[in-house]
Copies of this chain bind each other. A is one copy, B any other.
Amino acid sequence: MPAGPDATALQVLRHLVDHGPLSRPDLQQGTGLARATTSAITNDLLRRGLLAEIDTPRSGQRGRPVTLLDLDDTHYAVTGIEIGFDKILASVHTLQGRELLRVERPAEADAVNPRALLRRAAMVLQETLDLVEDDGRELLGVGVSVAGLVDAASGTIKYAPSLGWRDIALSEGVAEALGGRAPVLIDTTANYAALAELRERRRNGGTEASLVYLTGTYGISAGIVAGGNLWRGERGMAGEVGHLIVEADGLRCVCGRNGCLDTRAGMSAILDAALGAAKGVRRTSRPLTLSAGVDQVASLAQSGDQGVVEALAEAGRWLGRGAALVCAMLDPHSVVLGGHYARLAPWLLVPARGAFRESLLLPGDDREQLQVSALGAWAPVEGAALAVLLSYADGTRAFPSSN
């Protein structure tokens, strides 16, 4: 006998992840399941400690109390961690998404050496484990976010340009650091951030089935949601938007080809162009990390440096053209500028939207398709924690048998 919930129970769990808390009738209507099926499933999940009832006094018809269902908030925890060149970010969440802990540590000195960076990540994870233990919770897993090409199935980083890593068995390393205490998932910053962005929209009542989240890391990667689910590609290689060729005889790209979008609108190229155009910034005095570079560019633009402002506008126009390519191919509800793009949006967004509209094949409807993420730097971490939960709600992993 399989211990985990069957396919219909997973539908219920998944629906609550996206839309909870919900009344029983709303849950039944939302899943499209028969009333008797919904009732049997929710009772079983309540008994197993995966769901909880929430009494909301006097909010129903005629002021009667309504009992809502949601994922249980007391027994389990999920952890997300982003291992970046600049920083390691981690957070611990309940199944309802409530944040229990947030840790931020610098990483620079260790980044070039995978072993040293993993040791640093292990120390951060230990902090999260301590909290989960003190809180008497069971850790369902750790989601690890890295900017680069990730083979999620084998848990390997194929190529992370910002870290200079190739073929690193990251899952294994993190699982070792955890002493096997919880399963480990890995995926790209772009995919995890897209998951977090989608949940944010669902929780705010959005019903869109699609979005494309563009990371503002060294290069542009896309997290693609289509039909309500993340689309990673058949080999996990979808979303290489930074390497769409946008100029036949364009600039040389790190990938060895010419004219990739990254050479114009990747964050690394944007900083080079902006600092190159800035008054009185010497090449040798440029900041080492992406975050520091973004800070410097933002403050130069803020102070009215026209060279910097124009360089950002030009980058914005290329970003808009790139977003239009994404729309021609996928027609998502929104293209969302994330990460450091959000920070530089005051200077990027207007020119980007102008070029975007000019490059569209058909005029869009009234709503603005090119948007800026409101989630900020923590989106990938929150998405990584959410992905752990989703791996249970889609049946990839089985919940512990009872509590």
Q: Which 9 A-B pairs have the closest CB atoms?
A: A233-B331, A7-B32, A238-B331, A237-B331, A234-B333, A240-B328, A226-B231, A243-B361, A6-B34
How many chain A residues sit at the interface, stated as a range, is 35 or more
Q: Does A288 sit within 8 A of B, measured CB to CB?
A: no
Q: Does A11 sit within 8 A of B, measured CB to CB?
A: yes
- B326 contacts A32, C-beta separation under 8 Å: no
Q: Does A325 sit within 8 A of B, measured CB to CB?
A: yes
- B7 contacts A361, C-beta separation under 8 Å: no
- Residues from chain B with Cβ under 8 Å of A247 in the complex: 248
- B37 contacts A234, C-beta separation under 8 Å: no
A206-224, CB < 8 A from B? 208-210, 222, 224
Alpha-carbon distance A327/B248, docked complex (angstroms): 18
Q: Does A131 sit within 8 A of B, measured CB to CB?
A: no
9 more CB-based (< 8 A) A-B contacts, given A210-B234, A237-B361: A6-B34, A149-B362, A208-B234, A226-B226, A232-B331, A233-B330, A236-B331, A239-B331, A244-B325
Q: Does A158 sit within 8 A of B, measured CB to CB?
A: yes
Q: List 11 A-B contacts (CB under 8 A).
A: A7-B11, A208-B234, A226-B226, A231-B330, A233-B332, A234-B333, A235-B365, A237-B361, A243-B328, A255-B361, A325-B329
What DSSP secondary structure best describes chain A's contact surface?
loop
Q: Does A241 sit within 8 A of B, measured CB to CB?
A: yes
Chain B residue nearest to A328 (CB atoms) is B240
B-facing mask of A299-328, CB < 8 A → 1, else 0?
A: 000000000000000000000010001111
Q: Does A227 sit within 8 A of B, measured CB to CB?
A: yes
- A330 contacts B7, C-beta separation under 8 Å: no
- A329 contacts B8, C-beta separation under 8 Å: no
Alpha-carbon distance A208/B234, docked complex (angstroms): 8
Q: Does A31 sit within 8 A of B, measured CB to CB?
A: yes
B-facing mask of A320-357, CB < 8 A → 1, else 0?
A: 01000111111111000000000000000000000000
Alpha-carbon distance A226/B209, docked complex (angstroms): 13
Q: How far is the CB of A354 from chain B (nearest CB, A)?
A: 15
Q: Does A33 sit within 8 A of B, measured CB to CB?
A: yes
- Residues from chain B with Cβ under 8 Å of A209 in the complex: 234
Chain B residue nearest to A32 (CB atoms) is B7
- B7 contacts A240, C-beta separation under 8 Å: no
- Residues from chain B with Cβ under 8 Å of A126 in the complex: none
**Contact partner of A227 among B8, B226, B246, CB < 8 A?**
B226
- Residues from chain B with Cβ under 8 Å of A8 in the complex: 7-8, 33-34, 37
A240-264, CB < 8 A from B? 240-241, 243-250, 255, 257
Q: Does A97 sit within 8 A of B, measured CB to CB?
A: no
Q: How far is the CB of A312 from chain B (nearest CB, A)?
A: 21
- Residues from chain B with Cβ under 8 Å of A238 in the complex: 329-331
Q: Does A395 sit within 8 A of B, measured CB to CB?
A: yes
- Residues from chain B with Cβ under 8 Å of A7 in the complex: 8, 11, 31-33
- A244 contacts B329, C-beta separation under 8 Å: yes
Q: How far is the CB of A369 from chain B (nearest CB, A)?
A: 9
Q: Does A113 sit within 8 A of B, measured CB to CB?
A: no
Q: Does A56 sit within 8 A of B, measured CB to CB?
A: no
Alpha-carbon distance A232/B333, docked complex (angstroms): 11
- Residues from chain B with Cβ under 8 Å of A362 in the complex: 149, 158-159, 237
